[in-house]
Amino acid sequence: MKAELFTSVVSRLRPRLLSIASSFDTVNAEDAVQEALMRLWTAWERLPEPADAERLAVRLTKYACITDYRRRQKQQTVELKDVAAMETTDTTDETVIQYALEQAVAALPPAERRLWTMHAEARMGIVQIAAASGISSRSVSTMLSSARHHICEILKKGDLL
């Protein structure tokens, strides 16, 4: 399907996905929908019909809810990996930068983090992000530049930039 169709289909579909995710977990519903729409975007060109996209989006939302639920269950039993230990065992530049970037993204405000993830991870354009998040394109570009600014500041503080 064409990329232009993504915005119209997703704009229509988003409230339904959000309600499914909210019924499972109100707090993390937005994150689950974002995850599902990112995956939907990557598979978009291969989908033949909008109906298939809708079906897949619902299933992907449920998948995102369950994987997040499982991750949280795991976190309760297993201790998180110690940062110091990670740095001593694997100190390549790439992993250090990756870790620093992860920390910087995690420090962003939730709304900014969601938009940034769609941009940086799924390579979604401003229009697609706007449709997937329910925010206007202008606000999306403003929030993305703000997120970029925050990340750069955090990296500068960590002497990585």
Partner 1 sequence: MKKEKAMLIDRYLAGEAPLHPERLVLPTDEELNETEIEFDQLMAERLQNTTPVRNARIISLWSWAAAACVLIIIGIGIILLWDKPSQPVKIVAKQKPAKTIVAPNAPSGNMLTPIEDHRDKPMNLAKVKQSVPKTPSREEERLDIPEIDIAAEVSDILANIDQLEQQIIVTNPQNNN
What six digits make up the tokens of 69? 């639920």
Residues 6+ away with beta carbon under 8 Å from 11? 131, 134
Residue 67 as a binder of partner 1 (CB under 8 A): the answer is yes
Which one of 14, 63, 137, 141 is in contact with partner 1 (CB under 8 A)?
A: 63
Q: Could you say which of 102, 138, 142, 153 contacts partner 1 (CB under 8 A)?
A: 102
Candidates 6-14, 71-79, 119-127, 131-139: pick the segment binding partner 1 (CB under 8 A): 119-127
Please give the residues from 127 up to 146 whose contact with partner 1 meets the rule CB under 8 A: none
For position 16 contacting partner 1 by CB under 8 A, the verdict is no
Contacting residues for 117 by C-beta, under 8 A, at least 6 apart:
34, 38, 105
Amino acid at 4: E
Structure tokens that stand for 57 in this block:
């989006």
Give the DSSP letter string of 113-132: HHHHHHHHTT---HHHHHHH
Report the interface residues with partner 1, using CB under 8 A: 23-24, 35, 38-39, 42-43, 59-60, 62-63, 65-67, 69, 93-94, 97-98, 101-102, 105, 119-123, 148, 151-152, 155, 160-161
